Amino acid sequence: AQSVTQLGSHVSVSEGALVLLRCNYSSSVPPYLFWYVQYPNQGLQLLLKYTTGATLVKGINGFEAEFKKSETSFHLTKPSAHMSDAAEYFCAVSPRMDSSYKLIFGSGTRLLVRP
Amino acid sequence: DGGITQSPKYLFRKEGQNVTLSCEQNLNHDAMYWYRQDPGQGLRLIYYSQIVNDFQKGDIAEGYSVSREKKESFPLTVTSAQKNPTAFYLCASTIGLHTDTQYFGPGTRLTVL
């Protein structure tokens, strides 16, 4: 069965530092790939997604992610962290052969930004 | 404004009671989903519906039930058979394509007393 692994349940960075959140998926056929952000006690908001084409995807709030098929990865980065980036981030996949179009989520990474 | 609404935001239930969580969308989306979120476990799919009057079990459907009588509405009932119902519940909808974004509601936090 398809699975998603997010390394690190908590990541702490200083304001202005690089943000790197890791995501790996487990299928031989690359799925569609998504990153969502969740602020406390709120729903999820899409940051970016990869479906086809250019493997470097730019999203909202200065985030970007790169699809690397050889590494089965879709890591999320931001060059310079801001205090407002503190939230929980979820990587999700949608298997291409799955007719339900459901999302399979990783367990999430909570980003802490230190002043 | 288009979007998804969930109510109530907070819900308290006594053991043995059934409760129903509301989810309404005005995005004209065909597909709707219910997820359960527990700390450190991400989101897990409970039920989904791709068309009115049809729905399918997700990964953790036991102790839950749903209906889809209208395109806009997809209520979730947490029954007394659900052994550990305290969680954050999120409803989502999408047009119904793999590449489409799932839009999420603000969630309902259910606590069993």
All residues of chain A having their beta carbon less than 8 Å from the beta carbon of residue B48 are 100, 102
Give the C-alpha separation, A43 to B33, whole Å.
13
Of B45, B56, B106, the CB nearest to A43: B106
For position B98, what pLDDT does the model report?
Answer: 66
Closest by CA to A100, choosing from B28, B65, B92, is B92
Angle at B55 between CA B29 and CA A29, to 5 degrees: 75
Q: Is A107 left (phi over 0), alpha (psi -120 to 50) or beta?
A: alpha
Task: Please give the share of chain B, as a percent, with pLDDT higher than 90.
Answer: 78
Per-position DSSP letters for B64-101, written without gaps between them: EEE--SBTTB--EEE-TT-S---EEEEEEEE-S-TTSP
SS3 of A71, please? Answer: helix
Q: Which of B62, B11, B53 has its CA nearest to residue B32? A: B53
pLDDT computed for residue B95 by the predictor: 86
Element at A8 (helix H, strand E)? none
Of the partner residues A32, A43, A108, the one whose CB lies closest to the CB of residue B105: A43
What is residue B87's predicted lDDT score, i.e. its pLDDT? 95
C-beta neighbour count of A8 within 10 angstroms: 12
| Cis bond before residue B85 (omega within 30° of 0) | no
Q: Which of residues 53-92 of B touch A (CB under 8 A)?
A: 56, 58, 88, 90, 92
Cα separation, B7 vs B111, in Å, equals 14
Give residue-wise pLDDT tens across range B31-58. Answer: 999 999 998 888 999 999 999 999 999 9
Interchain pair A105, B43: CB under 8 A: yes
Q: Which of A70, A67, A113 is nearest to A93 (CA)?
A: A67
CA A53 to chain CA mean position, Å: 18
CA distance A13 to A82: 10
Indicate yes or no: CB of B98 within 8 angstroms of CB of A51. yes
* Average pLDDT for A85-94: 95
Rounded mean pLDDT of A56-80?
96
Residue with tokens 């790197």: A20
Q: Which residue has the higher pLDDT, B40 or A84?
A: A84
Predicted pLDDT at B1: 63
DSSP state of B113: -
Average pLDDT over residues B50-73: 95
What value does the mean pLDDT take over residues B63-89? 95
| Interface check B3 vs A, CB under 8 A | no
CA–CA distance, B61 with A97 (Å, rounded to integer) = 22
Q: Report pLDDT digits (tens) over A21-52.
A: 999 999 878 889 999 999 988 899 999 999 88
